[in-house]
Structure 1
Amino acid sequence: MSNLHHMKSPGSANAVRESSQTERAIMGLRDAVLRGHFPPSERLSEVEVADHLGVSRTPIRAALQRLAEEGLLEAVHPSGYVVRAFSEQDIADAIEVRGTIEALAARMAAERGVSRLILQQMRDCAAKMQAQFDSPVSDDERLEQYAIFNERFHALIIEAAGSGVVQRALTRVATLPFASPNAFVSAQARLPGSMEIMRMAMMQHHDIIDAIEARAGARVEALVKEHSRIAHKNLELALRNRDVLDSLVGAPLIQRA
């Protein structure tokens, strides 16, 4: 049999390459916007963005459209985009929406049932987060490791729901400033009272796992909503500590009172 059937066509290879460049452009532009390289209300030039990211203008067009769909950019007439600014209420609303979607995912997981493997992975994440508090490493290293396992824990909740619709909805809202579960983790050691809040969050992780395992849908939905309010408390602390807030990714997009 000829090996020609197993060879990728030039068109297929080009499609893969273009897809990779587009994803690179999306991630690069999102990071640049959140870090303030392109300030709020600034009109974005395709040429400037392409030069900054080192990619061609074609994937930049796709990246601009994607970030507009996510809410980080706003389309302006007759054509083009500007970086959006976010009020404190916008950020609080984004955190609320993220918590509501995660709570829905947890309820779906509990009601539909979850494999022993996913439950064990969730327990492993919770245990590794707890272990960071007994680790002799620096606060920065401890929080870096905590963030890895915390991100995985929240991803497992969505995976356990088994819903692509829910996953896409969460992915969209989590890209907004401070809406992701790890938005404040890097600053926890510098926010007064924040480490105590983190300990409370870890206790909630165990309760969430137990409720999913018990297939208690209404209980786990309430638990996850309460868990998301941890982010609201951290936001309030950060807003009272501007030096800490300014060090966080996304801070340049906040409208200052």
Structure 2
Amino acid sequence: MRHTEAATHGRRAVIDLRERILSGELQGGTRLFEVPLAELLDISRTPVREALSRLAEEGLLDRLPSGGFMVRRFGFSDVVDSIEVRGVMEGMAARVAAERGAAPHRLKEIKETVARLDASFGERPEDVDFDAYADLNEIFHRQMAGLTESDVIRREVERASALPFASPSAFLPDRSDIATFRRSLRTAQEQHRGIVRAIEMREGSRAEALAREHARTARNNLEYILNEDPSLLEKVKALALIQG
């Protein structure tokens, strides 16, 4: 029982700290130590220690020679590479699902998610529920990997998506008044439909190409923020971790 409780605390600490880092709450260059974090999370030092080691393995933290950890800062190329890796893995997943043939009940589920994503868009072009879209987008990508019926591929897609800033909803702002992002979401939704259609029609090459192009949405949003409208940096806090 005690071992199970410690494992639960460890998982919770990893999730909590990862979210604090990727949300920008713990900014690049911040030093992290076991005791203050244990007090912050209201758990013992052991699961905190394990969580910090896990996040260092994920590449979100650097170990300090003097002890403790520091939240990493990332270069633009690091982020682009993470997005590209996810695109490659999701492209392979889409191709495999198409070539092997997806189970009807899984196709039904992902089509229902696409329909719910459609509902996050209003009648007017400027109406988008960002929060609903982000949540459903994560579900869509999990379901797409699940279409392969391969635990190996699903795990590797999850691993790639856990890379810093490689999440399918990376760089989505928490405001709904940004026209450029609304346009990118509508394009991404068209890609969702195209991917599912290609998988259903067992068009492997097309499914792979669409999935890889779809992953570039995050990169396009990042490039727009950094190159065209730096004022959006304040609306996407995680960008505080990225160096030019």
Match of 1:134, SS state, is coil
Instruction: Say whether 1:241 aligns with 2:229.
Output: yes
Instruction: Say whether 1:124 aligns with 2:88.
Output: no
Q: Distance in 1 between matches of 2:177 and 2:84?
A: 24
Listed as ranges, the matches of 1:1-257 within 5 Å are 13-77=1-65, 79-134=67-122, 142-187=129-174, 189-239=176-226, 240-255=228-243, 257=244
Q: Distance in 1 between matches of 2:136 and 2:11?
A: 24
**1:95-146 deviations in Å (ceiling 9; x for gaps):** 111111111111111122211111111111111211222369x957x12112
Aligned residues of 1:106 and 1:221 also touching (Cα < 8 A) = yes
What is the identity, as a one-letter code, of the residue corresponding to 1:55? I
Aligned residues of 1:98 and 1:173 also touching (Cα < 8 A) = yes
Residue 89 of structure 1, CA deviation? 1.7
Aligned residues of 2:52 and 2:69 also touching (Cα < 8 A) = yes
Larger Rg belongs to: 1
Structure 1 stretches lacking a partner, 5+ long: 1-12
Change (3 A) 1:148 1:41: closer
Residue 191 of structure 1, CA deviation? 3.5
Aligned residues of 2:86 and 2:157 also touching (Cα < 8 A) = yes
Q: Distance in 2 between matches of 1:163 and 1:192?
A: 38
TM-score (norm 2): 0.89
Change (3 A) 1:70 1:145: same
Q: Distance in 2 between matches of 1:88 and 1:248?
A: 15
Residue 49 of structure 1, CA deviation? 1.6
Match of 2:192, SS state, is helix
Residue 79 of structure 1, CA deviation? 4.6
Residue 39 of structure 1, CA deviation? 3.3
Aligned residues of 1:74 and 1:83 also touching (Cα < 8 A) = yes
Change (3 A) 1:36 1:133: closer
Q: Distance in 2 between matches of 1:250 and 1:134?
A: 28
Q: RMSD over aligned Cα, in angstroms? A: 2.3
Aligned residues of 1:190 and 1:244 also touching (Cα < 8 A) = no
Q: Percent identity?
A: 40
Change (3 A) 1:188 1:162: farther
Structure 2 stretches lacking a partner, 5+ long: none
What is the identity, as a one-letter code, of the residue corresponding to 2:113? C
Q: Distance in 1 between matches of 2:218 and 2:192?
A: 14
Answer with 44-53 or 34-43: which moved more. Answer: 34-43
Aligned residues of 1:29 and 1:53 also touching (Cα < 8 A) = no
TM-score (norm 1): 0.85
Change (3 A) 1:196 1:35: closer
Answer with 59-68 or 33-42: which moved more. Answer: 33-42
